Amino acid sequence: MKTSQASTTPIEYQSPGLIRIFAAMVYDSLLLAAISIAYGAIVVGLRVLIQGRPEVGHRIQWDMLSGSVISLGWLAVLVFFYVYFWHRFGQTLAMKTWRFKMVDAQTNQLASYKQCVTRSFAAMLSFLLLGFGYWCKFFNPQQRMLHDVLSGTKLILLKK
């Protein structure tokens, strides 16, 4: 009887390079721009429905509270985009185009909601730190970025 070593040994996947990751980010930013425009249109439409149109030549004025709520809502929509696609498919449309996927670092399966939410906020932090979290990839033995490490995920390159 032969014992299969492959069933107990985890499969190693290659990690995508930063150029591929940045290219996917640019592609995703186009999708996020369209989503942001739609969100803005809905918010303005609701405002006009509730308070009526402003006088001719005047702009809609937002107070600090409503502006903050709208900004938080916009952030939630953007985070939802990533969480939905990462949890459901492991990749956004851009990641699919550039042939890589985000998975749980231990099991290589789809990440949990908690991992996806954590990765979303940690990726924003990585980006806001002048991209420092992305450059950590070069110093990590598994080539994982800071937000991958913090969320327990990793990116894997898919075959053609």
Our count of domains for the chain comes to: 1
Whether residue 98 lies inside any domain: the answer is yes
**Phi, psi dihedral angles at 103 (to 5 degrees):** -135, 165
Whether residue 3 lies inside any domain: the answer is no
Whether residue 113 lies inside any domain: the answer is yes
Whether residue 93 lies inside any domain: the answer is yes
Residue 127's domain spans which residues?
Answer: 18-157
pLDDT, tens only, 39-62: 999 999 998 898 888 888 778 888
* pTM as predicted: 0.84
Whether residue 74 lies inside any domain: the answer is yes
Whether residue 9 lies inside any domain: the answer is no
Instruction: Give the residue-averaged pLDDT of 88-98.
Output: 97
